[in-house]
Chains A and B, each alone.
Chain A
Amino acid sequence: MSSVAVLIDHDRGVPPGGALEALTAARRLAAELDVPVNAVILGDSELFATHGAELFAACASYGAAGVHCGRHSLLADYGPDAWGAALAAFVEAAQPAAVIAAGTDRGAEAMAQLAARTDLPLVANCVSVSSASDPWQITRIQWGGSLLEDVTLSSSLPLLTIAPHSVEAEPVPDGAADIETVDFAPDLGPEAERTLVRNRVTLTEGITLSTSPVVVSGGRGVGSAEGFAALEDLAELLGGRVGCSRAVTNNGWRSHADQVGQTGTRIAPEIYIACGISGAIQHWVGAMGSKNILAINIDPEANMVTKAGYAVIADLHAVVPAISDEIRRRRDRPLD
């Protein structure tokens, strides 16, 4: 029986949140098409032995009626060619109504590999999908979400990735039903070996301003070179780096190497904590790649405040040490 197939983009057996979002989205589509949702999990026998039950349970909780388990020794770890070839084998064998994955790095890559192998269109980062008409009507994000694009999809087998966080993962309301597992054994040729993860490196050192996941930056409001001690402390607690605005380097409080901005370093951290920075545009263009911005400033009208996703309107000299204290307090506290 045909189904909406969802690729579970697990990492060595650990399912990421994205797969649960994709299952949730797939349920809606499957309801429209009046077919079940089936998960597709790729791995080797050992992976299924150690993580299978957990993965199956998760899939069931989020609405999968069955799981297609692609088993092969080359699927012990991730590899784009191996996953692409395995998926291609799956669709040929199972003839699903659609294949969906999360729009994560891994999900997007595996689906593109599948699309290349099948020469089928792939619509990436969808936020809504309607199969009510032919061709399908889909809305997807462009420009990182600044724009939406309505597209039509004409395909014998729709391939989709779901934009992260566009769907909230919801377990099925009635509790997980029994889940049926079906094995398949893709025939993986030598090309699958070309791109396997050979090694892993866990990084704790060598983070630079431009690659740091956290940047704690100070502007004119810091007031002095000494004033940066509190920012250093917070940055260290978060494993981040300290940056600064042009006014700071102009005043000689910090070296140019720390300057964030058009004429300094352009950064793209997970969070940028801008302390006492007014947000001159030259600074902004260096910081605008940040995924999240927290502005700490006494002026609620400051450029940086209006552009930031989060703000604390107060004196940085009081707020920054308080944040550090709070972090220490939580870390010292035993886990609940």
Chain B
Amino acid sequence: MSDFPARADCVVIGAGIVGNCLVGHLSDLGWTDIVLLDKGPLPNPGGSTGHASNFIFPVDHSKEIVDLTVDSQRQYEALGLQNTCGGIEVARSPERMEEFRRRMTSATCWGIESRLLSVDEVTELVPFIDPEVILGGFYTPSVSAVDSLETGTQMRRRATEAGHLQTFANTEVLDIETVPGANRPRISAVVTDRGRIECDTVAIACGVWSPKLARMAGATIPLTPAVHQMVDVGPFDVLVETNQELAYPIVRDMDTFCYERQSAGSMEVGSYAHRPILHRVEDIPSNEEAALSPTEMPFTPDDFDEQLEQAIELMEFLGDGEIKYAINGLLSLTPDAAPVLGPTPEVENLWSVAAVWVKEGPGVGRLMAEWMTYGYPRMTDPHGSDVTRFYPQDRNVIHIETRADEHFNKTYGIVHPREQWATRRNVTCGPAKARTDDLGAFYFEAGGWERPHWYETNADLVEHYGIAQRTHEWDARWWSPITDAEHLHLREHCGLVDISPFQVFEVSGPGVVPYIEKMAVNKCDLPVGRSIYTPVLTADGGFRSDLTIVRLAEDRFRIATGAFDGGRDEYWFRHNLPADGVHFENRTEALATYGVWGPNAVSLLQTLTETDLSQEAFGYGQVRDALLSGIPTQMFRISYVGDAGFEIYCPTSAGLALWDAIAQAGREFNLRPVGAGVYGTTGRLEKGYRLMGAELESDYNPVEAGLARPRVKAADFIGKEAYLAAREAPLAAQLSTLRFDSLRCAEGYDRFPMGAGNEPVLTTDGERITDSHGRVSRLTTAGNAPSVDAYLAMAYLPPELAAVGTELAVMYQNELYPATVAATGSNLALFDPDDNRMKA
């Protein structure tokens, strides 16, 4: 045993699957002085890895998760610790059979071999399933079970043998020390019961204990320990006779939220169906106090009885098996069920590596090592897992537990891409909430804010414009024809949009110009009152964000970004602040923001102000202070919906008065409130505007997204080198607009692809399309374009296909729909492509 070190470059806390894989990959990437600590013994320190069922179903609807899972399977396979046994999800309901068609769509998109099975085909593979109980199955041959403990051991060994790692088990972390940094505290040391280690970087990979460790440093990792019940039943002759660990495919009984996994002679039955059982970190016993391990809590049989009955329904022989082992196993749930990875926003050089399943462990190890080494991951865009995605109000225990409680039973559930949360609503509201309530607003949550998505009081417009309801319930769910009607009304008259959830930052000070230039691709050193829309890049030249920057004064800039992107963007802007000379402030809560757009918008607003709003006096992209009905505002002539008008900022305290003033004046101009359905989808889509997290990801660069300007500014900026290289390199993919030629499904009515990211663009022969970097072509956005009477989508295509007129097919619900490339390159607009309306 080596002496306890006084210093290390990096301390990783937690030797579960994730911590072990992280140290292995850090070592591979050249970190030479790593210390791994765990409070428990090795190889099983007592966390969730130790009781995991260790199986992997690779198909998921999320690209990010699939990338991590498939990479993990490759790593397990390379270590010889993967047993590929196949897996079947079985359906008991028609709704689930339909979900399987969506899973087929995802499987096709990610190139994972899968197929739908008839009942007979299911029982051929798993003869002991009762055919009377099920309607069919979804089979993935590459489903596997892995040895996560041994994988961890080998990862550690790899780093240790390279001379890069020292591991200390049975070592408890007592404190994580910080020192004041430029703008935030910075990691300085880890204090343990065996000594103090000075270090520059700390990664917390402590699973359910992560929040407690983060708290030591003054940071938050938003997750809660939650119970997943599991029993081991057997032995059964039919399984013993196989003489194998896994002779039969793993079965997921999706409608009962249960799984049945052979484990040699017995069967593991696990459930996500029981009531959510959440624990507090402080209530987890120590290794010594626990009867089994800290994360194998006492089984509460009453919660599992229904699952026992359902398991016996599916496989009758299970009823005679003895329940040899039964636990309330702890796992980590975050407020939105995704992992919490990346740099913590509160403390510099403190990394969160938590809420990761065994199926993603090695992939997350690689991803995090890349993130810590290169500043951002290379293997996939991690924005869905980025711990900074959570706003401060999402980080408290009430929010975490309430949301975890809500989504626990969706673990095997059917989740709609547009699905809205039922709990913790009305926590953050704009100042006009009372008015939008009166107008029958149907709210979607946007970054925690209540944002009107459509207004029921506009229902009359549906008939007026002749908008059809969608036939299929799935397509119509979380959607309303009112959105299309609002869209057409805005284009014909004008609309008032509540965009208060916009995240608004201001940066100021003597050093602000070089700072803002460093952050943005496009030139920001503009005259006061001018604005610029710009990509923000990773060091590797992929998208970190896109946002609008306004020069408010010589030494002050305003940055406006999307409601969902504020946490990540704020981290990035703060992380890159110089030691002094620039002050950062988040102004979101201080400002109310409305958009007024449409042919009548300028005339309407002119009635409220003496400021000349004419195009000649107040051109596109300009910002002015103006009194509107006596209320001090900043008016910004810009549009994300492609019509003339303004974004208007005012103090939150005046937000209600301003809403009322605009609404009052709007009566003469046929103003209607318009929801984010128009703003976020229909309006932007027919104008070809890109959206962060949809079209814009770190996997793609501005050249591919069609956002490269003719010239590159002289000033240096993050990602410049890569950006310059991308401009010179042969184009690998080009963002394009597709127009559907038909939406008619086999059953004779129209379907409406979601654009949720998992619907592949195929050749007309149904072949998957990938570019020279291996990236698959898939819909990044889809929606109606009422003003051009079309259903549109966006997708990246290899250059040979990215040409107007190329005929393609899109898979939706496992059916193909013909679509044609309608625009490509920098201008993807099909509506008013020359922007005449905005300049009117």
The CA-CA distance from A262 to B232 in the complex, in Å, is 9
A305 surroundings in chain B (CB, below 8 A) = 41
Determine, out of B43-51, B56-64, B684-692, B817-825, the stretch whose residues face the partner at the interface: B43-51
Q: Are B264 and A256 within 8 A (Cβ)?
A: yes
Q: Which of A256, A263, A279 has the most CB of B within 10 A?
A: A263
Which of B44, B149, B170 has its CB near the most chain A CB atoms (within 10 A)? Answer: B44
Complex Cα distance, B291 from A303, in Å, reads 15
B325 and A262 contacting across the interface, CB-CB below 8 Å: yes
Contact A279 B264 (CB under 8 A): no
Whether A281 sits at the interface, judged by CB under 8 Å, is yes
Residues of chain A within 8 A of B265, CB atoms compared? 256
Is A302 engaged at the interface, CB distance under 8 Å to the other chain? yes
Separation of A325 and B264 alpha carbons in the complex (Å): 36
Q: Is the CB of A263 within 8 A of B42?
A: no
How far apart are the CA atoms of A281 and B325 in the complex, in Å? 12
> Are A279 and B240 in contact, CB atoms less than 8 angstroms apart?
no
Contacts A256-B235, A300-B1; is A281 near B43 (CB within 8 Å)? no
Flag if A301 contacts B41 (CB, 8 Å): yes
Q: Is the CB of B44 within 8 A of A303?
A: yes
Instruction: Using CB atoms, name the residue of chain B closest to A299.
Output: B42
Tell me if A301 and B264 are in contact (CB < 8 A): no
User: B599 → chain A, closest Cβ, in Å?
Assistant: 70
A302:B264 contact, CB within 8 angstroms: no
**Within the assembled complex, what's the spacing in Å between the Cα atoms of A233 and B235?**
29
Nearest-CB distance from A54 to chain B (Å)?
46
Closest to A262 in B: B325
Q: How far is the CA of A278 from the CA of B15 in the complex (A)?
A: 15
**A293-336 CB contact bits vs B (8 Å, 1 = yes)?**
00000011111011100000000000000000000000000000
Q: Are A263 and B325 in contact (CB under 8 A)?
A: yes
Contact assessment for A302 and B43 in the assembled complex, using a CB-CB cutoff below 8 Å: yes
Distance in Å from the Cβ of B43 to the closest Cβ of chain A? 5
Residues of chain B contacted by A73 (CB below 8 angstroms): none
* Chain B residues in 8 Å Cβ range of A252: 243
State which of B1, B46, B51, B240 has its C-beta within 8 Å of the C-beta of A256.
Answer: B240
Query: Could you tell me the distance between the alpha carbons of A299 and B42 in the complex, rounded to whole angstroms?
Result: 9
CA of A301 to CA of B170, assembled, Å = 8
Task: State whether the Cβ of A249 lies closer than 8 Å to any Cβ in chain B.
Answer: yes
B296, CB-defined interface residue at 8 Å: yes
**CB–CB B266/A263 < 8 A:** yes
Across the interface, which residues of A come within 8 angstroms of B235, CB to CB? 256
Which of A250, A278, A300 is the one whose CB lies under 8 Å from B43?
A: A278
- Are A281 and B292 closer than 8 Å at their CB atoms? yes
A166 to chain B, nearest CB (A): 23
Q: State whether the Cβ of A282 lies closer than 8 Å to any Cβ in chain B.
A: yes
Per the bound structure, the CA–CA distance linking A270 and B789 in Å amounts to 83
- Whole-angstrom distance between the Cβ of B698 and the nearest chain A Cβ: 38
Q: State whether the Cβ of B108 lies closer than 8 Å to any Cβ in chain A.
A: no
A280 part of interface (Cβ distance < 8 Å):
yes
Q: Which residues of B contact A249 (CB under 8 A)?
A: 264
- In angstroms, how far is the closest chain B Cβ from the Cβ of A252? 7
Contacting A at CB under 8 A, from B150-186, are 150, 167, 169-170
A206 nearest CB across to chain B (Å): 23
**A286–B50 alpha-carbon span in the complex (Å):** 16
Number of A-B residue pairs with CB-CB distance less than 8 Å in the complex they form: 60
> Is A285 on the interface with B (CB-CB < 8 A)?
yes
Instruction: Return the chain B residue nearest A220 by Cβ.
Output: B150
Q: Are A285 and B42 interface neighbours, CB within 8 A?
A: no
A306 to B44, CA, bound (A): 12
Task: Verify A280–B325 contact, CB threshold 8 A.
Answer: no
Q: Which residues of A contact B291 (CB under 8 A)?
A: 285
Given A302-B41, A302-B42, A250-B264 contact (CB < 8 Å): yes
- Measured CB to CB, the nearest residue on chain A to B234 is A263
Binary A-proximity of B216-235 (CB < 8 A = 1, otherwise 0): 00000000000000001011
A278 to B44, CA, bound (A): 8
Complex CA gap A302/B169 in Å reads: 9
Interface size class of A (residues with CB under 8 A): 20 to 34
Contact A303 B43 (CB under 8 A): yes
Kindly identify, within residues 219 to 258 of chain A, every residue whose CB is under 8 Å from any CB belonging to chain B: 220, 249-250, 252, 256
Task: Tell yes or no: B27 within 8 A of A by CB.
Answer: no
Distance in angstroms from A146 CB to nearest chain B CB is 11
Chain A residue with the shortest CB-CB distance to B291: A285
Q: Which of B133-150 contact A (CB under 8 A)?
A: 149-150
A307 CA to B287 CA, complexed, in Å: 11
Determine the chain B residues whose CB is within 8 A of the CB of A256 once the complex forms: 235, 240, 264-265
User: Which residues of chain B have C-beta atoms less than 8 A from A302's C-beta?
Assistant: 41-43
Within 8 A of A (CB), among B291-341: 291-293, 296, 324-325
Contact of B41 among A250, A282, A285, A306 (CB under 8 A): A306
Inter-chain CA distance A83–B1, complex, in Å, is 57
**A263:B324 contact, CB within 8 angstroms:** yes
Complex-state Cα separation, A133 to B263, whole angstroms: 60
Provide the bound-state CA to CA distance between A152 and B484, in Å: 83
Give Cα A256 to B41, complex, Å.
Answer: 26
Residue on A nearest B325 in the bound complex, by CB? A262
Q: How far, in whole Å, are A63 and B325 apart by their CA atoms in the complex?
A: 52
Q: Give the shortest distance, in Å, between B347 (CB) and chain A (any CB).
A: 29
B777, chain A: closest CB distance, angstroms: 42
Minimum C-beta distance from B689 to chain A (A): 54
Q: Which of B262-296 contact A (CB under 8 A)?
A: 263-266, 291-293, 296
In the complex, which residues of chain B have a beta carbon less than 8 angstroms from the beta carbon of A250? Answer: 245, 264
B235's closest neighbor in chain A, by CB? Answer: A256
Question: What is the CB-to-nearest-CB distance from B297 to chain A, in angstroms, rounded to a whole number?
Answer: 12
Contacts of A299 in B (CB 8 A): 42
Given A250-B245, A280-B44, A306–B170 Cβ distance below 8 Å?
yes
Query: Which residues of the partner chain A approach B42 to less than 8 Å between Cβ atoms?
Result: 278, 299, 301-303
Q: Closest CB of chain A to B294's CB: distance in Å?
A: 10
Q: Known: A249-B264, A252-B243. Contact between A303 and B41, CB under 8 A? A: yes
- Please give the distance in Å from B538's CB to the nearest CB on chain A: 38
Distance from B1 Cβ to chain A, minimum over Cβ atoms (Å)? 6
Q: How far is B43's CA from A220's CA once the two chains are assembled, in angstroms? A: 12
Do B292 and A285 touch across chains, with their CB atoms under 8 A apart?
yes
Q: What is the minimal beta-carbon distance from A246 to any residue of chain B, in angstroms?
A: 8
What is the CB-to-nearest-CB distance from A211 to chain B, in angstroms, rounded to a whole number?
19
By the criterion CB–CB under 8 Å, are B170 and A282 in contact? no
CB–CB B240/A282 < 8 A:
no
Query: Who on chain A is nearest to B246 by CB?
Result: A250
Whose C-beta in chain B lies nearest to the C-beta of A313?
B1
The 8 Å CB contact of B149, one of A280, A285, A306, is A280
Query: Which of A263, A280, A307 is the one whose CB lies under 8 Å from B232?
Result: A263
* Nearest CB of chain B from residue A297's CB, rounded to whole Å: 11
A205 nearest CB across to chain B (Å): 26
Q: Give B294's nearest chain A residue, CB to CB.
A: A281
Chain A residues contacting B40 (CB-CB under 8 Å) are 303
Within 8 A of B (CB), among A33-69: none
Q: What is the minimal beta-carbon distance from A69 to any residue of chain B, in angstroms?
A: 49
Provide the residues of chain B in CB contact with A220, threshold 8 Å. Answer: 150
Bound form: Cα–Cα A305–B169 in Å: 12
A119 to B292, CA, bound (A): 40
Which residue of A262, A263, A282, A301 is within 8 Å of B169 (Cβ)? A301
| Residues on the A chain within 8 Å of B1, using CB | 300-301
Q: What is the CA–CA distance of A306 and B296 in the complex, to the nearest angstrom? A: 19
Interface centre among A252, A256, A278, A282 (most CB of B within 10 A): A282
Query: CB-nearest residue of chain A relative to B322?
Result: A263
Top 5 nearest A-B pairs by Cβ distance? A301-B169, A303-B41, A281-B293, A262-B325, A301-B42
10 chain-A/chain-B pairs, Cβ below 8 angstroms: A249-B264, A263-B266, A263-B325, A280-B43, A280-B50, A280-B149, A281-B292, A301-B42, A301-B167, A307-B41
- For the complex with contacts A256-B265, A302-B41, 19 further pairs of A-B residues with Cβ separation under 8 Å are A250-B245, A250-B264, A262-B232, A262-B324, A278-B149, A279-B41, A280-B44, A280-B50, A281-B44, A281-B50, A281-B293, A282-B325, A285-B291, A285-B292, A301-B1, A301-B167, A302-B42, A303-B40, A307-B41
On A, residues with C-beta under 8 Å from B are 220, 249-250, 252, 256, 262-263, 278-282, 285, 299-303, 305-307
